[in-house]
Each structure stands twice: as C-alpha cells, then as structure tokens.
Amino acid sequence: MVVFLQGCSMRCAYCHNPDTWAMQGGRAMDVDEIIQCYRRNAFYYRDGGITLSGGEPLLQDRFVLQMAKRCQQEGIHLTIDTCGTTYREINQRIMDQIIDLTPLFLVDIKYPFESGYLRLTGQPLKPTLDMIETIERKGKTMWIRYVVVPTITDDDAAIAALAKIIAPLHHIEKIEFLPYHTMALTKYHQLGIPYRLEGVPQATHEHIDSVKSLFVHALSTIRQGQG
Ligand code: SF4
C-alpha cells in the first residue's frame, strides 16, 4: 500500500506531482488509521507492505518515525521512497533512527553533480549522498532511481559520475532508469506553475537502453579498476 505524504522542498524541473509540493492539502491521517487501512485491505497483497512516498515523505520525519516503529512492532514491511534532501545535520538523529527501522529505501539521485543538481531541483546534492552513505553503512537495502531527461540528465559525464557514486556501494539491489515524460504538463497549466522543460523531448525506450549500456560499461570499468 502506497501512502503519499504531502509536502516537498525540492522543485525538480520534471516533477510530475507539483500538487504535492505544498505542506497543506491532502487528508490528515494518523498512524492508527493507516495501519487499519492496510489491515483492511491485507487480502489484496501477496508479499505486502507499506511504502511511504510523496512529495518527500521525510519532510514529516516525526510521523515517519512513528510509522517505522509501528511497522516494526506489527511485522509490516516498510519502504521509504525519498530523494534524501532532508538528511541534514539538524535532523540527522531522527533520520538515523528511521534508517535503523526501515528495511528498504528507494532513493532518487536526480543528478550526480552539485551545480546541475541545484539547477534541476533547487536543493543541494550532498544530503542525498550523505543519506546513501548512511543507509549503506547500516546495511539497509536500496533501490536507486534516476530519471533520464534527454539533453538534461543523460550526458556521458553524468552517467559516468553516477556509476562512480554507485560503484563502492554493496547494498543496492536495483537501479532503475526512469524515462522522462510530459504527462504532468496539464497539471502545471492548471496550477499556473511555469513548466521549465517546455520543448524537452520524452525519453524513448531506445534511449533508456543506451543510457543503461553506458552506465553498465562505466560501472564495470570502475569496478575492474578497483579489483
Ligand atoms: S522530489 Fe519528487 S515530489 Fe519533490 S519536486 Fe522532486 S520529483 Fe517532485
């Protein structure tokens, strides 16, 4: 069961959920209500669990901590879908507690260079890298996700830099290259938010395949060098 938490401090140029940016909105629910909802629909799930997504779920870190504690008590598998931007010194303690209680993280790396990351998202890259390092150190499983935006995030140097980030990590179960699409354009127009990627083409399957090959080649070259 996926729970979408309201609020995000990032402003990714390709975000397809700009309606989740504001902290207000959505429906207020407490932990009990979410767990009851999960239990009520339990017959639907084969290997079920709860995924907290957003927006950026860790913006509501105290709530996420409560959820993580409760899921552990009740034996419910918890996944957190995050971009890692809230992993800052000021709230590192609570983040680390959450990481200790959560078996799986889906972590978005929006771009592997600081300047491009800031341009694309409005926030720095470092917190994401720090969070990945902590998840790795604590031995929790990660899936890394990377959105392929033609002419924006698909250059050879970026893919090689992404491979360099991934190469030393041992707890990554999966890397997903997601194709950029323009399906959210109508939402932007309805919300009156300027769309920064106007005219940028969607990523085709062939393009995703070529980025994947580039990545696999870069990763194996780095790992051979390390070995
Ligand atoms: S982190 Fe996710 S929800 Fe937030 S702006 Fe980026 S794509 Fe949108």
Ligand 1, atom nearest to 14 Cα? 7
- Residue 179 to residue 149: CA distance in whole angstroms: 7
Write down the pLDDT at residue 43.
Answer: 85
Distance 168 CA to ligand 1 centre (A): 26
**pLDDT band per the 50, 70, 90 thresholds, residue 215:** very high
- DSSP single-letter state for residue 192: T
Mean pLDDT across the chain, nearest whole number?
A: 96
The set of protein residues with a Cβ atom below 6 angstroms from ligand 1 is 8, 10-12, 15, 17, 20, 54-56, 83
Q: Other CB atoms closer than 10 Å to residue 173's CB: what's the count? A: 9
Ligand 1, atom nearest to 10 Cα? 5
Distance 56 CA to ligand 1 centre (A): 7
**pLDDT band per the 50, 70, 90 thresholds, residue 44:** confident
Q: Which pLDDT tens digit goes with each residue over 76-90?
A: 999 999 999 999 999
Output the residue whose Cα is nearest ligand 1's atom 1: 10
| Domains and their CATH numbers in the chain | 2-226 (3.20.20.70)
Output the residue whose Cα is nearest ligand 1's atom 6: 12
Residue 40 to residues 1, 43, 79: CA-CA distances in angstroms?
A: 11, 8, 19
Beta bridge partners of 106: 81, 143
Output the residue whose Cα is nearest ligand 1's atom 8: 15
pLDDT at 227 over 70: no
Distance 197 CA to ligand 1 centre (A): 15
pLDDT at 28 over 80: yes
- Residue 62 to residue 41: CA distance in whole angstroms: 25
**Among all chains, which residue has been given the structure tokens 């080649």?**
217
pLDDT at 5 over 90: yes
Distance 108 CA to ligand 1 centre (A): 9
- DSSP single-letter state for residue 201: P
Give the predicted TM-score (pTM) of the model: 0.96
- Residue 156 to residue 143: CA distance in whole angstroms: 22
Ligand 1, atom nearest to 110 Cα? 6
Mutation to probe ligand 1, out of 11, 56, 118 (largest number of atoms < 8 A from CB): 56
Q: Which pLDDT tens digit goes with each residue over 123-152?
A: 999 999 999 999 999 999 999 999 999 999
Distance 17 CA to ligand 1 centre (A): 7
**pLDDT band per the 50, 70, 90 thresholds, residue 122:** very high
